[in-house]
């Protein structure tokens, strides 16, 4: 176990290194000299030179990369070109709403996806199965932002049940804060539940076809016991994989959803930074997102140990 974990962690290094190189090169290949852009029109050559040193733009490219990476590893992601605040602090201010939104979205997609997937598999080829599959097909084709706008039209504009957009801090008023998150969380969660339905269905169908499930049925166990005690437990490993994929997909979807619902999270931050050409922030947010994406997937892999005692590495 320990050696497996060490191996997995070591394998992350090249992946994260590639991530870092890509982001470093992306910002370096922007048109123009970032220091000159930042210094403004009437800066003296000395000022630009100082600024360039300040931003770590001196010396050959590999040296710049090492310096940048060294700082990034210590949490120093540079400063925003827009408001001169440290990027790490800006990210800190935006991470909360995104975490809340994703947690709610994962909860929603699991509470829709798991039961519907189980029902689809147990009542195979029934109308419920067909409906589940249709929902899954549709969920894969609907653009997140369009779903979000449609939900706003129906539930905020026409029915007036929920606020159409915005964010309220949970520390002030938790209830209010959650009502603001209902529509965005559904927007984000429903399409990924489509993926979960299909995966739960197919992995459960595989297990239901096995001998030990037939044995369980043959010895007279009830349907509920067979499905939950025997089948579902053994279908958990592939289901976990898809949950990991879902969480990862949510991080991408959050970018769009936060923009639709004006939620001040990481996604909105990255879009705004692109429009402002604030490269250090784009770089920092993307680095944090990619790193957490990789770590979440590792976490999911490690969960296999918990759900399946046969898994040995």
Partner 1 sequence: MATRSVEWDARAQATKRPSAGTLFLRMMRRRRIIGLGAVILLLVMAAAAAAPWLTPYNPLAPDVPARLQGPGPAHLFGTDDFGRDIFSRVLFGARLSLLVGTLVTVLATAGGVVIGLAAGANPRTDRVLMRIMDGLMAFPDIVLAIALMATLGPSVRNVIIALGFVYTPRVARVVRASVLVIINQEYVEAARAVGASRARIMTRHVLANSISPVIVQATFIAAYAMLGEAALSFLGVGVPPQIPTWGGIIASGQVYLRQAAWISVFPGAAIILSVLALNLLGDGLRDFLDPRLRYSS
In angstroms, what is the minimal distance from the CB of 43 to partner 1? 23
Which residues 6+ apart lie within 8 Å of 66 measured at CB? none
Calpha distance 48→2 (Å, rounded): 50
Among positions 24-83, residues that touch partner 1 (CB under 8 A) are 26-27, 29-31
In angstroms, what is the minimal distance from the CB of 229 to partner 1? 31
How many residues lie near partner 1 (CB under 8 A)? Answer: 53
Gyration radius from the chain CA atoms: 24
| 138 close to 194: Cβ distance less than 8 angstroms | yes
- How far from each other are the two terminal CA atoms of the chain, in whole angstroms? 6
249 binds partner 1 (CB under 8 A): yes
The site string for partner 1 over 257-296 (x = CB under 8 A, - otherwise) reads: --xx---------xx-xxx-x-x--xx--x--xxx-xx--
Query: Exposed, middle or buried: residue 305 (CB in 10 Å: 0-12, 13-18, 19+)?
Result: middle
143 binds partner 1 (CB under 8 A): yes
236 binds partner 1 (CB under 8 A): no
In angstroms, what is the minimal distance from the CB of 152 to partner 1? 6
231 binds partner 1 (CB under 8 A): no
> With the CA atoms of 265, 270, 273 and 275 taken in that order, what torsion angle do they form, in degrees rounded to the nearest 10?
-110
Calpha distance 98→121 (Å, rounded): 33
Calpha distance 216→229 (Å, rounded): 10
In angstroms, what is the minimal distance from the CB of 232 to partner 1? 25
Binding site for partner 1 (CB under 8 A): 14-19, 21-23, 26-27, 29-31, 137-138, 140-146, 149-150, 152-153, 157, 164, 248-249, 251-253, 255-256, 259-260, 270-271, 273-275, 277, 279, 282-283, 286, 289-291, 293-294
């Amino acid at each position: 176990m320990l050696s497996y974990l060490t191996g997995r962690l070591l394998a992350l290094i090249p992946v994260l290194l590639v991530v870092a190189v890509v982001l470093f090169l992306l910002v370096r290949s922007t048109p123009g000299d970032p220091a000159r852009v930042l210094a403004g029109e009437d800066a003296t050559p000395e000022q630009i030179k100082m600024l360039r040193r300040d931003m770590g733009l001196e010396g050959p490219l590999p040296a710049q990369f090492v310096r940048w990476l060294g700082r990034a590893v210590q949490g120093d992601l540079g400063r925003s070109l827009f408001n001169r605040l440290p990027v790490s602090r800006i990210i800190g201010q935006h991470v909360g709403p995104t975490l809340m939104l994703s947690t709610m979205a994962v909860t929603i997609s699991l509470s829709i996806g798991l039961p519907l997937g189980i029902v689809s598999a147990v009542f195979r080829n029934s109308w419920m199965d067909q409906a589940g599959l249709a929902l899954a097909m549709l969920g894969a084709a609907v653009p997140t932002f369009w779903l979000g706008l449609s939900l706003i039209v129906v539930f905020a504009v026409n029915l007036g049940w929920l606020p159409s957009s915005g964010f309220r801090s949970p520390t002030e008023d938790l209830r209010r804060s959650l009502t603001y998150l209902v529509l965005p969380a559904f927007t984000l969660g429903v399409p990924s539940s489509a993926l979960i339905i299909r995966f739960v269905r197919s992995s459960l169908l595989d297990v239901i076809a096995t001998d030990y499930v037939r044995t369980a049925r043959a010895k007279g166990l009830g349907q509920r016991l067979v499905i939950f005690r025997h089948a579902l437990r053994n279908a958990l490993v592939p289901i976990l994989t898809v949950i990991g994929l879902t969480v990862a997909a949510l991080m991408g979807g959050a970018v769009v959803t936060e923009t639709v619902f004006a939620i001040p999270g990481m996604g909105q931050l990255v879009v705004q930074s692109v429009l402002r050409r604030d490269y250090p922030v784009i770089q920092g947010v993307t680095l944090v997102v990619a790193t957490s994406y990789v770590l979440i997937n590792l976490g999911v892999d490690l969960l296999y140990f918990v759900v399946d005692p046969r898994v040995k590495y």
